[in-house]
């Protein structure tokens, strides 16, 4: 099973234990959501999975292979792509270059021109899909927040990841855009891509997810389909502090 | 095998040297902690202070230590101006890199001016008590080195007291640890940063005076110091004053001991070896703890 | 509407082509039109700076890592060439090639350590590199001649001075052309795009699948190779090496200043910077004699560039020309609701055949 799994993942910052023996696995081919109150370890989890920070102990595996100690780029090449909570794009590169910079999983001849016909067409395809084709020549730093979010998404998708980790895709985004992002996720999922989405916007989560995992204080406390999670008492307790 | 007395002497000298390094490195750490600025001109200001001490001694007959009465406040003011007028103008995005280049430029200007005004001739203060030394269990220790260490110790202690006990010190530490949070609680971080810089350059004034007591000075001497000082703050952990002090003591000791076998010039390489090792093994430094930044 | 980057003929491009042709013409004719051998040698010095700063710009321009230590690499190339000729008896240009390859090889462990850190730490390491090589070459007098210096025999012993300058002028020009070519190739390649991504956001680039460390190391080695070549060629031309001048922080800082002044993101930025600063330096030397005032001038110039023109001359000119060209305007408007609906319908129509 080509799924993403973490086994007893632990990470502490100073005295603050953010991930506490976290064991969780995400369903391949599904739209998974990772929800939980602030500080429950969701972004840290993403960071450990993608190699940005090293966990204190535990294991992360993807498609059966142990990826705990791998570098971020090796993990990306293994098929895991991610976006960032505070949207990260390449500010002084054009929108088109931002997307072109995403490397595809299999190696590319380095000295080939960066702007070959095939690459540019593919990049433009993603820009069109996300509705920002008209901004192709604009430098990323001149885009609005919502446009940058779309750009970040286009970039990640251009690297053709098998599994896409989205960190708060709805953060600071207007409802129309939100709908579009949700529709896009479902569309791409129908094509075979797995998603793991960290999100606070419950409407979005409930409407597009197949499977939800709830974190609280560094551990999963509940998981299941949206209907089950919506009425789970532990979840309500975690969010409302009851 | 060097004699016990020689070893003992080297250890003492190493500790004294380490203390001086600690003071000099503390200033560098302050700049980095406050503003993520690598102040390459710090050692140039050191040499400037040394020249001023020499000049006041040669031309005005004043004891070099007294020159601090003028140089310390003067350098403090320079530091404030430097931060407010120049460094604050740099864009935040490329601050670290651009500040390196800017302070590098300042260092070169100071060196050029020193060379122009005082010529490239090597200078040395001839003090009445310059060759006096103390005998301590068979070790011969120059009085001037003790004075230098004393200056460094007093300055570091004062710095410590300021940082821990005064309101300004608290504001400074808050600004260092988390600038935005400090602003939120009402601290005028711009003013504090300016004063922090002034403090850093003030330590350069003191350090330079200490240096002038028994070192031969020439305009390009600052390159001789910036390398070891930067190695110290990287080994100690960028941004941590205690870390820098610890690294300074350790490396000062190592340098002094190595001098027995390898001579002065090759003993200097200990700093670069330590730097290389730190980068290879633990880039965030060894002594800084959680305060240390990676870059 | 085609945007500026897609149209082939723009005011910017025309101006650039004209300038380039003019420069090439002047450069090729320079040895013939230079009034005296001294000015010809000034031309060589400027060309040397141009090669050095273009070589520096492989690292500085693409990855954004500012190295103040490239002077060490140039010095190693110079001394390497000199020592291979004097101690190993190699023919001059073989020694040059060998020395450059040696520098490139050395750049691997150096880069391996230095590139593990970023920003300020990297600058510190680069400075330390220069200082430590200076130390070594000054102290190891038995091997390197120490402070007495090293004398490198001329490659063409019978040649007279003017002819010697002439030959080396063209050699440096050729080296410059090659360095520019390689820079241009990298600039438009996939590799170059990856490097620029590193410059913009290294962690993000890595998260997108770019092997950042390997990329940085490769470009560092390439940079070192060309820098070593320039240093070695200088040794063959000048003939006299002194550690203080070869391993000078100042040379390294000139490289940075020139590249910054001209514009690090431009192919010809370092060249323009070298022309401006190199000529200015020679002028200062004539005006102020060899006093330390040229240090002051360098420092002030660097400070001014950093404070007021951090992007450099060429981008400033480029922006000016772009303002003259009114036809390119991408509006940065949000997609309207109607467009959104239209796109969604289009998207669904697009998706259906796949799931069907």
Helical (H) or strand (E) element with B210: helix B189-214
Please name the chains neighbouring A, where neighbouring means 3+ C-beta pairs under 8 angstroms. C
pTM for the whole structure: 0.87
C343 within 8 A of A150, measured Cβ to Cβ: no
Instruction: Give the highest mean pLDDT range of A108-112, B21-25, B91-95, C347-351.
Output: B21-25
B41 within 8 A of B107, measured Cβ to Cβ: yes
Q: In this complex, do B226 and C292 lie within 8 Å of one another by their Cβ atoms?
A: no
Using CB atoms, pick whichever of C113, C296, C310 lies closest to residue B276.
Answer: C113
Q: In this complex, do A187 and C334 lie within 8 Å of one another by their Cβ atoms?
A: no
Q: In this complex, do B102 and C306 lie within 8 Å of one another by their Cβ atoms?
A: yes
Using CB atoms, pick whichever of A81, A110, A134 lies closest to residue C189.
Answer: A110
Per DSSP, B83 falls in state I
Question: What are the chain A neighbours of C334 within 8 Å (beta carbons)?
Answer: 144, 146-147
Using CB atoms, pick whichever of C121, C301, C310 lies closest to residue B94.
Answer: C310
Instruction: Give the highest mean pLDDT range of B238-252, B259-273, C209-223, C331-345.
Output: C209-223
Instruction: Give the highest mean pLDDT range of B244-258, C241-255, C310-324.
Output: B244-258
Using CB atoms, pick whichever of C64, C113, C302 lies closest to residue B280.
Answer: C113
- Of B71, B36, B294, B34, nearest to B169 by C-alpha is B34
**Chain A, window 50-109: residues with a beta carbon less than 8 angstroms from a chain C beta carbon:** 50, 52, 71-74, 76-77, 81-82, 84, 88-94, 97, 100-105, 108-109
Size of interface A-C (CB pairs under 8 A): 128
- What is residue C334's predicted lDDT score, i.e. its pLDDT? 47
Q: In this complex, do B105 and C306 lie within 8 Å of one another by their Cβ atoms?
A: yes
Q: Over chain A, what is the mean pLDDT?
A: 88
Within chain C, strands assigned E span: 150-151, 240-241
- Furthest-apart CA atoms within chain A: distance in Å: 59
The ipTM is 0.88
Measured between CA atoms, how close is C354 to chain A, in angstroms? 8
User: At what angle are helices C212-238 and C190-200 packed, to 10 degrees?
Assistant: 100
DSSP characters over C113-140 = HHTTS-HHHHHHHHHHHHHHHHHHHHH-
Average pLDDT over residues B183-202: 87
CA pair distance C355, C80, nearest whole angstrom: 66
List the single best residue of B41, B42, B116, B227 to mutate versus C (max C Cβ within 10 A).
B227
- C259 pLDDT higher than 90: yes
- Of B277, B256, B215, nearest to B18 by C-alpha is B256
Q: Over chain C, what is the mean pLDDT?
A: 84
pLDDT digits (tens, 9 = 90+) for A151-199: 999 999 999 899 999 999 988 888 888 888 899 999 999 999 999 999 9
CA pair distance A182, B173, nearest whole angstrom: 45
CA pair distance C134, B269, nearest whole angstrom: 11
CA angle B205, B135, B215 (to 5 degrees): 30
Burial environment of residue C1 by CB neighbours within 10 A (0 to 12, 13 to 18, 19 or more): exposed
Helix (H, G, I), strand (E, B) or coil at C264: coil
Q: In this complex, do C204 and A88 lie within 8 Å of one another by their Cβ atoms?
A: yes
Helix (H, G, I), strand (E, B) or coil at C279: helix
Average pLDDT over residues A209-216: 91
Q: Over chain B, what is the mean pLDDT?
A: 85
Banded model confidence at residue C355, pLDDT cuts 50, 70, 90: very low
Within chain A, strands assigned E span: 4-13, 16-26, 31-35, 57-62, 65-66, 80-82, 163-167, 194-198, 211-216, 219-224
Instruction: Please count the residues of chain A.
Output: 242
């Amino acid at each position: 099973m080509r799924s993403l799994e973490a086994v007893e993942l632990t990470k502490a910052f100073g005295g603050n234990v953010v991930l506490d023996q976290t064991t969780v696995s995400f369903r391949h081919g599904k739209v998974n959501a990772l929800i939980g109150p602030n500080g429950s370890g969701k972004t840290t989890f993403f960071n450990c999975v993608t190699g940005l920070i090293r966990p204190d102990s535990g294991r992360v595996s993807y498609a059966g292979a142990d990826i705990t100690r791998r570098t971020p780029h090796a993990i990306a090449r293994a098929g895991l792509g991610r976006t960032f909570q505070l949207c990260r794009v390449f500010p002084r590169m054009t929108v088109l270059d931002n997307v072109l910079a995403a490397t595809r999983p299999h190696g590319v001849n380095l000295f080939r021109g960066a702007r070959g016909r095939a690459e540019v067409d593919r990049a433009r395809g993603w820009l069109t899909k996300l509705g920002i084709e008209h901004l192709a020549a604009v430098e990323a730093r001149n885009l609005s927040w919502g446009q940058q979010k779309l750009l970040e998404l286009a970039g990640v998708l251009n690297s053709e990841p098998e599994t896409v980790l989205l960190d708060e895709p709805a953060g600071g985004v207007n409802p129309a855009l939100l709908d579009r992002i949700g529709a896009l996720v479902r569309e791409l999922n129908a094509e075979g891509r797995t998603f793991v989405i960290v999100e606070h916007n419950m409407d979005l989560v409930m409407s597009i997810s197949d499977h939800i995992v709830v974190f609280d204080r560094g551990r999963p406390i509940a998981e299941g389909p949206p209907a089950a999670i919506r009425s789970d008492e532990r979840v309500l307790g975690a969010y409302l502090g009851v | 095998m060097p004699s016990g007395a020689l070893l003992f002497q080297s250890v003492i000298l190493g500790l004294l040297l380490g203390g001086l390094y600690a003071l000099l490195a503390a200033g560098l750490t302050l700049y980095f902690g406050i503003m993520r600025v690598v102040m390459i001109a710090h050692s140039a200001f050191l040499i400037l202070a040394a020249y001023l001490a020499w000049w006041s001694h040669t031309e005005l007959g004043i004891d070099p230590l007294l020159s601090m009465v003028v140089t310390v406040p003067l350098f403090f003011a320079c530091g404030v101006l430097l931060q407010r007028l120049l460094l604050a103008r740099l864009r935040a995005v490329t601050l670290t890199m651009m500040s390196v280049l800017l302070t590098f430029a300042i260092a070169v200007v100071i060196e050029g001016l020193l060379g122009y005004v005082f010529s490239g001739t090597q200078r040395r203060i001839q003090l009445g008590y310059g060759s006096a030394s103390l005998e301590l269990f068979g070790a011969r220790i120059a009085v001037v080195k003790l004075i230098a260490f004393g200056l460094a110790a007093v300055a570091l202690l004062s710095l410590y007291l300021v940082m821990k006990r005064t309101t300004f010190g608290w504001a400074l530490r808050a600004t260092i640890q988390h600038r935005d949070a400090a602003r939120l609680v009402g601290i005028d971080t711009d003013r504090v940063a300016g004063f922090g810089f002034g403090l850093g350059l003030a330590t350069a004034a003191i350090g330079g005076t200490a240096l002038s007591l028994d070192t031969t000075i020439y305009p390009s001497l600052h390159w001789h110091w910036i390398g070891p000082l930067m190695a110290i703050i990287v080994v100690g952990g960028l941004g941590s004053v205690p870390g820098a002090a610890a690294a300074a003591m350790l490396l000062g000791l190592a340098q002094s001991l190595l001098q027995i076998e390898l001579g002065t010039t090759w003993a200097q390489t200990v700093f670069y070896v330590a730097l290389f090792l730190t980068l290879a093994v633990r880039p965030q430094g060894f002594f800084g703890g959680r305060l240390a930044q990676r870059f | 509407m085609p945007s500026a980057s897609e149209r082939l003929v723009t005011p910017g491009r025309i101006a650039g082509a004209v300038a380039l042709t003019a420069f090439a013409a002047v450069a090729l004719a320079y040895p013939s039109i230079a009034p005296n051998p001294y000015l010809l040698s000034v031309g060589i010095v400027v060309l040397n700076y141009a090669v050095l700063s273009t070589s520096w710009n492989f690292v500085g321009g693409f990855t954004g890592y500012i190295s103040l230590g490239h002077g060490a690499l140039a010095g190693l190339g110079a001394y390497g060439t000199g020592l291979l000729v004097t101690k190993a008896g190699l023919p001059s240009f073989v020694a040059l090639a060998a020395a450059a390859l040696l520098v490139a090889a050395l750049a691997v462990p150096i880069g391996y350590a230095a590139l593990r850190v970023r920003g300020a730490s990297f600058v510190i390491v680069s400075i330390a590199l220069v200082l430590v090589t200076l130390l070594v070459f000054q102290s190891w007098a038995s091997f390197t001649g120490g402070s007495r210096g090293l004398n490198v025999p001329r490659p063409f012993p019978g040649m007279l001075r003017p002819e010697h300058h002439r030959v080396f002028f063209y050699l440096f020009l050729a080296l410059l052309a090659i360095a520019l070519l390689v820079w241009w190739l990298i600039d438009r390649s996939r590799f170059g795009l990856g490097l620029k991504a590193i410059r913009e956001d290294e962690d993000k680039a890595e998260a997108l699948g770019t092997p950042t460390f390997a990329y940085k190391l490769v470009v560092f080695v390439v940079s070192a190779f060309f820098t070593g070549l320039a240093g070695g060629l200088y040794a063959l031309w000048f003939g006299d090496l002194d550690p203080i001048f070869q391993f000078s922080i100042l040379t390294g800082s000139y490289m940075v200043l020139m590249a910054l002044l001209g514009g690090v993101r431009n192919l010809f930025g370092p060249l323009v910077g070298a022309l401006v600063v190199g000529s200015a330096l020679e002028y200062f030397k004539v005006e102020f004699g060899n006093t330390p005032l040229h240090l002051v001038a360098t420092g002030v110039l660097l400070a001014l560039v950093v404070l007021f023109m951090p992007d450099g001359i060429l981008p400033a000119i480029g922006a000016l020309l772009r303002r003259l060209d009114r036809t390119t305007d991408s509006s940065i408007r949000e997609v309207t609701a109607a467009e959104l609906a239209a796109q969604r319908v289009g998207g669904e129509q697009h998706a259906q055949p796949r799931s069907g």
